[in-house]
Amino acid sequence: MSTLRVLKIDNPEDKKILKTKCRPVTMAGRELRRLIADMFETMNKAEGVGLAAPQIGLPIALTVIEIPPPTEKQDDGTEIEVGPSTRYVLVNPKIVQASNDEVMRQEGCLSLPGWYGEVPRRSWVTVEYTDENGKQRRLRKADGLLGWAIQHEVDHLNGVLFTERMRDPSTLKKIDDEQAAEELAKKA
């Protein structure tokens, strides 16, 4: 496995690739599995929840998402993990249904590290995709962090950046304190 370079919104050459509408994935087998493993490694090293192929310079419709494990707060104030994290590999995903209502969320992006802003997202989405084994899948009414991540990553595949979804650009703020960034991500 390899850690790959994540393209940045503020780099003009990178932004050209990030703004490209992706083509369908045609690779399969070992080549695809290796790319997926590299994407998860890259995403985890950057402490992200999702990563789309254009963020590593590949204009193909592939994204990986990892939802952190659920936690419970203990009487002493500490939190413990009560389940595993959940990984998703979405090849050629398409959002086929979305709620009519929206939720405003603090959102960030590995292509603009440290910056967060208010982004409206649908409260749930249904997405159809192919998994890494070539099987057709459908996630119905994905909500919460998973629903938000799907919408964010599918936007990447369509050349749309989260900053373009913001209704009020003044909400975009640099968060230097790691703890503050973690709190914002938890609320998302």
Q: How many helices (H) and strands (E) does the chain have?
A: 5, 10
Q: Is residue 6 part of a domain?
A: no
pLDDT in tens, 154-166: 999 999 999 999 9
Q: How many domains does one find in the chain?
A: 1
Q: Which letter does DSSP use for residue 123 in this model?
A: S
Q: Is residue 74 part of a domain?
A: no
Sign, CA dihedral 36-123-126-158, equals negative
**Phi first, then psi: what are they for 119, rounded to 5°?**
-130, 130
What pLDDT, on the 0 to 100 scale, is given for residue 21? 97
Among this protein's residues, is 47 annotated catalytic?
A: no
Q: Is residue 20 part of a domain?
A: yes
pLDDT in tens, 172-184: 999 875 545 455 4
- How far apart, in whole angstroms, are the C-alpha atoms of residue 102 and residue 120? 6
Q: Is residue 76 part of a domain?
A: no
For residue 188, name the pLDDT band (cuts at 50, 70, 90).
Answer: very low
Q: Is residue 27 part of a domain?
A: yes
State the CATH number of the domain containing residue 168: 3.90.45.10
Question: Which domain does 37 fall in, by range?
Answer: 12-69+82-187
Q: Is residue 7 part of a domain?
A: no
Structure tokens at 152: 């964010």
- Single out the catalytic residue among 66, 107, 132, 153: 153
Mean pLDDT for 131-142 is 96
Instruction: Report the percentage of the chain scoring pLDDT > 70.
Output: 94
Structure tokens at 24: 């369908």
